[in-house]
Chains A and B, each alone.
Chain A
Amino acid sequence: MAEINVSVNGRAYTRDVEPRTLLVHLLRDELRLTGTHVGCDTSQCGSCTVLLDGRGVKSCNVLAMQADGCAVTTIEGMATDGALHPLQAAFRETHGLQCGFCTPGMIMSAADLLANNPNPSEVEIRHALEGNLCRCTGYHNIVKAVQQAAHTMAGGTTAVAGD
């Protein structure tokens, strides 16, 4: 067992972990932050995506020990003071989710994209989400959600999409 110190959604945790413990299992099983999901065992699906020191990572591909001394943001940390993050609001507004299982990972990957590219094209959005699989939406409304969030975060008012 090894002791690690990690900040998750702004809260400091000290935990003893087995060296083989994955970050996603630390989050889900130890910290009970079950919004981060596990959808595969080959790091393809991206359901477990979180921000590690601001960078999008697949938390099934990171050992908990590697997060020692780092700051982790999960889907539970995206809303601030009860206000949804623009990505969260946009996913709802554009119907960017159906079953909701891939959604946290999608939102975290999109957050990583928008942090680096605040005004991505459709092609850039689709490319940035290549590590996140969704089986429900055909990605159509996910792309729209990211576009709308980018617009909002750039200072635009939330467009009322839909009919």
Chain B
Amino acid sequence: MTTTTEPGASLIGASIRRKEDVRFITGKGRFTDDVTLPGQTYAAFVRSPHANATINGIDATAALALPGVHAVMTGEDMKAAGVNPIPPGWLHPGIKISEFRALAVGRVSHVGNAVAVVIADSPHIARDAADLVSVDYSDHPAVADAVAALAPGAPQVHPDVPGNVVFTWQLGDAAATDAAMAGATTVVRQHLVNQRLIANAIEPRASLANYDAAADELTLYVTSQNPHVHRLIMGAFVLGLPEHKFRVIAPDVGGGFGSKIFIYPEECVVAWASKTLGRPVKWTATRSESFLTDAHGRDHDTDVAMAFDAQGKIVALKVKTVANLGAYLTLFAPAVPTYLYGTLMSGQYNIPAIHVEVTAAYTHTTPVDAYRGAGRPEATYALERTLDVAAGQLGIDPAELRRRNLIPPDAFPFQTAVALQYDSGNYEPALDKALQLIDYPARRAEQAAGRPKGKYIGIGLSAYIEACGLAPSHIVGSLGAQAGLYESGVVRIHPTGKVTVLTGSHSHGQGHETTFSQIVAQELGCSIDDVEIVHGDTGRIPFGMGTYGSRSGAVGGAALFGSLQKVKEKGRLIAAHLLEAAPEDVDFAGGNYFVKGSPTRSKSFGEVSLAAYLAHNLPPDMEPGLEATTFFNPSNFVFPFGVHIAIVEVDAETGHVQLQRYLAVDDFGNVINPMIVDGQLHGGIAQGAAQALWEGAQYDSNGQLLTGSMMSYGIPKAEFLPMFETDRTVTPSPVNPLGVKGAGEAGTIASTAAVANAVLDALSPFGITHLDMPLTPSKIWSAIQGSTGGN
């Protein structure tokens, strides 16, 4: 096992094997459902089978008669006890907020909406009893599609939201865009459906609450990407629990991809039930419940108009999107199709005029919120898919069309037409590198040679930019966020020189225990085995905004780095005092403080740590101890970028697509652990490619989810995918001291468009210019049958 590198070698940029792996590969991980408390009871939920119905009454008599059942509780009970609805965390002017109650009151608005909860001695008894709860519904017509929901006469999701319009939002200069469009040589128009996805982290959501009456304190174990956010919203807004008497622990969490950011009904119910009953209460979702109740992602219906001059330069871009937000607004939902979407519409390109208009709709479906990439994959898909359609219409090679429109390196910092200012970037080298690594001319020749023989190869490009490292608090605050998006990091040096880090970031697969240890070991010159990274516990960590939006390295890592500088500086003052040297004459390297020019006059970091705690001989007026806290508030987003290329072969007889090669060239700035960054990319690429080819949530016209299990929803298997090829360029970010950017979402952001473009490129001989995702064999086969072309 590799836990150390050569002495003196930099730990930043080293593929250190992960510290956390040992517990996972031996079965010792501790996930929420693995935690068991004495006297534990179990919750099971009664859920609506209807998408839109009035609740006439709930009869729990038979359920309560079952031995082992402690209670059956309803939305009316919670409301009477003073429990409030769950609020969204981002607001827009004029937004219509629906009442999102943990248990429905009076009516239900999507299939799976929780109506009542049963608390019993075992999960089986709870489930049996839930099936005995009789709910009298009057069901009504429902609407699942957002465009249909906005049409006159559509079924209403909430009586107080006429027309089902949550909000309308726009960005950019409409008049300038229309004028540029009117003067353009060519206007390419494309309608695009970015279908609804379901995150499907392999660990189902779970929660376990325990109210301690003696301490008047509630502890909640929960599958959360951001336990402090859970504590704040559940405590202060929903349940009325004081923050200092409410501890939220997110132990090992089995994947999130956004779906474990949000405050869900079940954890609110479990927490409230534990306090009400005085017993620990546990709930673990079945996968069927996950499909119906984990927030979904994407679900956009978009019209794009892209205007070009005679040289193939984009002169204007107009994007009109209808976003489906489902039945209720969850935490980030209003931000995803707006500030995380419209602001990305310039991509890597110099587009002088852009206008984006978004209408968000309520529908009788599961709420929609952030899913890996959150808005940015939708923007990249709209831009990159349309560019390929344009390349076909203009008769320009897709790589060349992109190259002509790249922002030149001397234009940075670059102010886009959609609010963002890109701090740095140099896009052409990534494009060149990707084309060279894939040997683009050879692939095009191969494609041309194959077509006459009925071999349909497709080559798809996607050039993306991502704004992540969420986020400058004052900017997001001015845009409607109800919180700041800084991060905290505490560095606690123990008397023996061992290090405990308390971070507000939360790892659910990202490997912070390793990468953050690398930062510490690099800065302090210690072994990474002498560092403990503590995350996911509001009882130990001062505060934190959690992990999403590719922010842990750029924001959480920067907070940690700040605290490391503070303890190093205090250590330097102590060392100078002990060495009887002026502080400015003392340097720190390799774990030792030494007098400049006299390396033998030195004190190790361990000696200084002990001195700080002994406090027998400290500089005058210095406090004992060696610990620092930093809240890092980024001055800007970070902007990773890259070019991805997919190569597919389409079997024209069956419509089957084989993803043959996938190459990613990305710029994440400085990379702490290349092995982990590659791993993030692999998983992201798989998820994005899956949207292009296999995944898609489907509802019928009554609001029933047709893809409600892993049998009917196309999660990729090992045999669907190739090995991935990754490479990088390095342009350090100027907005954090580590020079890092985010890497968690880039794979997903780029790959959907790359793979879809490859498939449509393969189908171009048939005269097929566009198909909506997922590009399943039946869809492709049908299109080929209806086409005019072929070899």
Contact = CB atoms under 8 A, between A and B. Distances in A.
A140 B684 CA distance: 12
Contact of A142 (B284, B678, B718): B718
Contacts of B682: 137-141
Nearest to B30: A34
A49 interface: no
A75 interface: yes
Interface string A32-67: 111111111110110100000000000000000000
B263 to A, nearest CB: 21
A18 interface: yes
Contacts of B95: none
Contacts of A115: none
Contacts of B716: 138-139
Interface string A108-143: 000000000000001101110110111111111111
Given A101-B202, A102-B202, A42 B683 contact: no
| B contacts with A: majority SS | loop
Interface in A57-106: 74-76, 78-79, 84, 88-89, 91-93, 95, 97-104
B33 interface: yes
Nearest to B510: A98
Contacts of B721: 126, 138-140
A37 B683 contact: no
Interface stretch (B21-29, B293-301, B354-362, B381-389): B21-29
Most buried by B among A84, A140, A163: A140
Nearest to A108: B27
B26 A98 contact: no
A133 B202 contact: yes
A132 B717 CA distance: 7
Interface in B255-283: 255, 257
A89 B511 CA distance: 17
Nearest to B662: A138
Contacts of B679: 95, 98, 136-137, 140-141
B2 A160 contact: yes
B15 A45 contact: no
Contacts of B287: 39-42, 45
Interface stretch (B307-315, B696-704, B707-715): B707-715
Contacts of B718: 125-127, 129-130, 132, 134, 139, 142-143
Most buried by A among B25, B510, B682, B686: B25
B686 to A, nearest CB: 3
A45 B290 CA distance: 14
A66 B199 CA distance: 34
B288 interface: yes
Interface string B509-524: 1110000000000000
Contacts of A79: 26
B710 A40 contact: yes
Given A88-B25, A135-B255, A140 B509 contact: no
Interface string B19-48: 011111111111101101000000000000
Given A99-B254, A129-B717, A136-B509, A163 B15 contact: yes
A104 B27 contact: yes
A20 B125 CA distance: 12
B789 interface: no
A142 B201 CA distance: 17
A91 B200 CA distance: 22
A107 interface: yes
Contact of A84 (B26, B199, B286): B26
A130 B33 CA distance: 25
A99 B508 contact: yes
B124 interface: yes
Contact of B24 (A47, A78, A89, A103): A103
A20 B747 CA distance: 43
Most buried by A among B21, B200, B201, B747: B21
Contacts of A104: 24-25, 27
Nearest to A79: B26
Contacts of A142: 718
Given A129-B718, A135-B683, A138-B724, A101 B255 contact: yes
B501 interface: no
Nearest to A93: B17
Interface in B188-218: 199-204
Contacts of B686: 137-139
B396 to A, nearest CB: 32
A95 B715 CA distance: 21
Contact of A35 (B27, B254, B685, B719): B27
Interface residues of A, number: 60
A162 interface: yes
Nearest to B29: A100
Contact of A42 (B29, B257, B711): B711
Nearest to B288: A41
B255 A130 contact: no
A122 B253 CA distance: 30
Contacts of A18: 124
Contacts of A45: 202, 287, 710
B255 A136 contact: yes
Contact of A100 (B1, B17, B20, B124): B20
B668 to A, nearest CB: 15
Contact of B18 (A95, A102, A139): A95
B254 A163 contact: no
Contacts of A107: 25
Given A41-B287, A143-B718, A97 B21 contact: yes
A20 B253 CA distance: 29
B723 A140 contact: yes
B29 A138 contact: no
B676 interface: yes
B674 A163 contact: yes
B252 interface: yes
A99 B25 CA distance: 11
Given A42-B709, A130-B718, A95 B675 contact: yes
Contacts of A132: 718
A91 B254 contact: no
A146 B753 CA distance: 31
A98 B711 contact: no
B31 A101 contact: yes
Contact of B683 (A75, A123, A138): A138
Contacts of A34: 27, 30-31, 33-34
Given A28-B34, A34-B27, A78-B27, 10 more contacts: A34-B31, A34-B34, A39-B204, A44-B715, A136-B509, A139-B721, A140-B679, A140-B723, A141-B682, A162-B17
Interface of B: 1-2, 15, 17-18, 20-31, 33-34, 36, 124, 199-204, 252-255, 257, 284, 286-288, 508-511, 674-676, 678-680, 682-687, 709-711, 715-719, 721, 723-724, 747
30 contacts: A20-B124, A34-B31, A35-B27, A38-B33, A38-B204, A40-B204, A40-B709, A40-B710, A42-B709, A93-B2, A95-B675, A98-B509, A98-B679, A99-B203, A99-B509, A100-B252, A100-B509, A101-B31, A107-B25, A127-B718, A135-B255, A136-B255, A136-B679, A136-B683, A138-B686, A138-B747, A140-B723, A141-B682, A160-B2, A162-B17
- Chain A to chain B: the 3 pairs with minimum beta-carbon distance, closest first: A35-B27, A101-B254, A100-B24
